[in-house]
Structure 1
Amino acid sequence: MTHANLMHNYFDPNSVYIEEDFRRRFWMRRHVFKCLLCDVQQVNPYFRQKRDRAGHPSFSPHQKVTVALRMMAYGSPADSIDETHGMSESTCLDTLQEFCDTIIQLYKDEYLLELNQEYLNRLIRKAEDRGFLGIIGSLDCMHCDWKNCPTGWQ
C-alpha cells in the first residue's frame, strides 16, 4: 500500500504532485531520481524488487531509495520512517547503508576528488572573498555572525 501511494503521489503519469513539488521534497528533479534509481538497481541487487518468505513483494526500489534520500535530506531518524513508509528502523538503517555504499561505488571516481593543497587554497580564497574566514576549519559556520540568526541558536 505504501508503494502504491508513493507511485500515485510522485511517479505515475498523472501523479498528485507536480515536478516542482517533487523537486522540493526530494531535492532533485524527477528524471535525476529515475536515473539514480536505475543506476543503483543495476549495481546492487538489494535495490531490486524481491518477494519475502510469504511470497509477498518486499519493499520496492522506489521505496528504498526514497527512504534513504529522506533520511539524508531531512535528517529523519530511522524510527520515524515507519509511520510514513511502513519500513522498520532496522530496515531503514540497512537501506541507508546499502544506498550510501552503492552511491560511493557508482560515483566516487567522477564526483569524489582527492583534496590537494592547490584545491584547498582555492576553496579558502573563494570563502575569504565572500567573508567567511576560516571556513575550512568550521564547516558548520557557527563562528560567523549572522544578523538574522534565530534567537535559539545564538
Structure 2
Amino acid sequence: MTHANLMNNYFNPNSVYTKENFRHRFWMMHHVFERLLRDVQQKVTVAIRMMPYSSPVDSMDETQGMSESTCLDTLEQFCDIIIQVYKDEYLREPNQEDLNRLLRKDEDRGFSGMMGSLDYMHWDWKNCPTGWQ
C-alpha cells in the first residue's frame, strides 16, 4: 500500500505532488529516484532468475548486460536482504504447532515419520538414477 501511495502521489500523470515536492521530501531529483528504481529492479530480476534456474552468471551478462562479478555480488546482497527481512517469520525453528502441521502433511502424502530426515533418502525411488541411489 505504501508503494502504491508513493507511485500515485509522485509518479502518475495527475500526481498529488510535483517534482519539486519530491526533491524537497526525498532529497534527490525525481529522475534520479526513477533510475535507482530501474537499476534495483534489474538487479532483483537477475538474482531471482539465477536462483531457481541455477542460471550461469555469464548468461546474465548476455541477457541483462551485467558483468559476472556484479551478478554474483547482486545475488549475495539479495540473499542477505531476504534473510534480514524474512528471518523472524520464515527462518526460525518450528514451534509445536508448525511441527504438528508438517507431520500431518507428510503423513497425508505417505511419508509418516519423515520429520528430521533432511533429505528423505531412506524411501525407495524406483525411477531414481542408479548413481543417486
TM range (shorter): 0.5 to 0.7
* Partner of residue 62, structure 1: 41
CA distance in 2, matches of 1:67, 1:89: 11
Deviation at 1:81, TM superposition (A): 1.7
Amino acid at match of 2:103: I
SS at match of 1:136: coil
Q: Give the direction of change, closer, same or farther, for the CA distance of 1:141–1:81 in structure 2 (3 Å limit).
A: farther
Deviation at 1:131, TM superposition (A): 0.5
Does 1:119 find its partner at 2:95? no
The answer for unaligned runs of 5 or more in structure 1 is: 1-33, 36-47, 51-58
Q: Give the direction of change, closer, same or farther, for the CA distance of 1:107–1:93 in structure 2 (3 Å limit).
A: same
Q: Give the direction of change, closer, same or farther, for the CA distance of 1:111–1:80 in structure 2 (3 Å limit).
A: same
Match of 1:129 among 102, 108, 113: 108
Match of 1:81 among 32, 55, 60: 60
CA distance in 2, matches of 1:138, 1:79: 36
Q: Give the direction of change, closer, same or farther, for the CA distance of 1:139–1:75 in structure 2 (3 Å limit).
A: farther
Aligned alpha-carbon RMSD (Å): 3.4
Amino acid at match of 1:99: F
Match of 1:99 among 78, 82, 85: 78
What is the TM-score normalised by the length of structure 1? Answer: 0.48
The answer for unaligned runs of 5 or more in structure 2 is: 5-33
What is the TM-score normalised by the length of structure 2? Answer: 0.54
Q: Percent identity?
A: 67
Q: Give the direction of change, closer, same or farther, for the CA distance of 1:115–1:87 in structure 2 (3 Å limit).
A: same
Q: Over alpha carbons, which structure has the higher Rg?
A: 2
Specify which structure has the bigger relative contact order, considering alpha-carbon pairs within 8 angstroms and separated by 6 or more residues. 1
